[in-house]
Structure 1
């Protein structure tokens, strides 16, 4: 296939094979900054989901948000767990702090509701496994919210790699940094290891980790990592992390993440016959800017960005409505948690850890 053909229908939803009717009614659990600024607008702008219930620790102060989006029901966390307004939603989006994911996801599954849960699925492999088991037992859809798997630039890159356009992938370089305290208060739950389960690795490093696994369609068999925290604000969690993944194919991925560096992200895959580089791969609304080299050929592509959050919720809604199993399922979330645990073990022991 000529390189141009990979970009002719760049933003086509290759997962959308039919046009189901109806919408999935969503209860959004946890109305923090991301839910307000990205998730609620993404759901509203999409095709297959609608928000009908907000679940929050501050129902009174959330009334304005509910009014803005025309949402009829606002309930507290305890009321949600007790089953209040259960008839008003079909699925739950869990956006509470990481250590609370399992509690709300399991409660939703036991009520027969489908679940899309923010990453990481939980703060430990054992607790994440409970989420997967609960959804399996209830027969409901479980999707880990890896929105990059729904983003066109990443999906076209996977096509390029699968077709051997760059040959065998030998090296991957990924990095994601975001100055946390520029937009969060010093008492943010992300700096509490009990609530977050870790620092920069869990919150930012999981993006290159999951994206590389997705693109290579392969899990790493060993990991080496180092963590650094020099600013007192990050005393309890990793401020910076560097980790290296080795895959059974011989591919090596070198990744970095930081809570205290200039906002930046990039992803490059180097193969035996070429390379793919994605600009701002992990930064939110991703610009479609990428470079592909294959032998003597070189192509640069730039296009309008797509809201990957909208794509993510439409993909989830489509899967629920059509009975399709999502690719970023619960087991995908489990695989990342195993790698994250191994990375922290490697950093503590100062040696490579096998998976």
Structure 2
């Protein structure tokens, strides 16, 4: 691939191959900060989805949200499980705390509703497998909400890797840190191990983990990890994590994540013939900068950010409307959970854990 072609029409939707009519009506389950500030606006501004039902623990307090986005129905969690307004939506977006993903995703599948579920699919691979099985049995689409897989910089990176623009990938460096307590109370569910299923690794480290697997189109065969927590409120979860993934090709990915470090994210791939660097790939709110060195040539892309949340929901809606299997499907979510559980085992035992 000539580098010029990689940067031409940079934001193209290479997954959008046919014209489609209509929209997928969504029940948004869980109206936390991300759902209000990113998901609902992204859905509203997109082409292929619309929100018709809000499911929340506080219907009265969510009326203003519903009015702002012209959402006709607001119900509580029990009402959703009882099937209220089931005819008003075609699919669900599960944005509850992690431990409750399985409950609402499987309930939706039982009603033959399509599912887009926030990462991780659940707090354990076992429960996540139940979600995958329920959706397969119902014949409905299941997508794990890995929005980076629809982000143009990441998609162009995968194309460059596939075409050998930097030779064979030897090393990957990825990191994501975000000071959790700047925007959350110390009793946030994200520091409850039973509800979150882990700490910085589950919430932040999954981004470099999944993105690395995506751009390499390969599964790790070994994981080594260390974790550290300084004390409350992080005494039940990992405050900081460092982990290394080994791939069949011999490539290694060194990744870090932190709940208590200055906000930062970065991804760099080093190959035998060049490098690819993406500045701030995981934060989602800053302009992306991408630099590719290939042999003696160096090219840079700098531009305004694409709303990867909008892209994610349009991709999901497009897949449902066209019967296309999404790339970040349930199996993709299972693979990350397998690696996450291996990383925690490694951190506890002090040894590398092999993956099948």
**Bin of the TM-score, shorter chain as denominator length:** over 0.9
For 2:57 and 2:260, the matched residues in 1 are separated by 29
Q: Please, which runs of 5 or more residues in structure 1 have no aligned partner?
A: none
SS at match of 2:233: helix
Counterpart of 1:262?
Answer: 262
Q: Report Cα offsets for 1:142-193 as digits up to 9, x if no partner.
A: 0000000000000000000000000000000000000000001111100100
For 1:90 and 1:184, the matched residues in 2 are separated by 33
For 1:133 and 1:354, the matched residues in 2 are separated by 25
2:216 paired with 1:203:
no
- Runs (4 or more) in structure 1 with deviation over 4 Å come to none
Give the CA RMSD over aligned residues: 0.6
Q: Please, which runs of 5 or more residues in structure 2 have no aligned partner?
A: none
SS at match of 2:310: helix
Residues 187 and 233 in structure 2, CA contact (< 8 A), matched pair in contact too: no
Measured after TM superposition, the shift of residue 286 of structure 1 is 4.9
For 2:39 and 2:285, the matched residues in 1 are separated by 12
Q: Report Cα offsets for 1:297-347 as digits up to 9, x if no partner.
A: 011110111000000000000000000000000000000000000000000
Measured after TM superposition, the shift of residue 210 of structure 1 is 0.2
SS at match of 2:3: coil
For 1:114 and 1:287, the matched residues in 2 are separated by 32
Map 1:169-248 → 2, pairs under 5 A: 169-248=169-248
For 1:299 and 1:122, the matched residues in 2 are separated by 40
The normalised TM-score by structure 2 is 0.99
The normalised TM-score by structure 1 is 0.99
Change (3 A) 1:285 1:18: farther
Map 1:75-224 → 2, pairs under 5 A: 75-224=75-224
For 2:324 and 2:249, the matched residues in 1 are separated by 29
For 2:186 and 2:301, the matched residues in 1 are separated by 40
For 2:179 and 2:268, the matched residues in 1 are separated by 22
Residues 285 and 308 in structure 1, CA contact (< 8 A), matched pair in contact too: no
Q: Report Cα offsets for 1:210-262 as digits up to 9, x if no partner.
A: 00000000000000000000142101100000000000110000000000000
Change (3 A) 1:286 1:114: farther
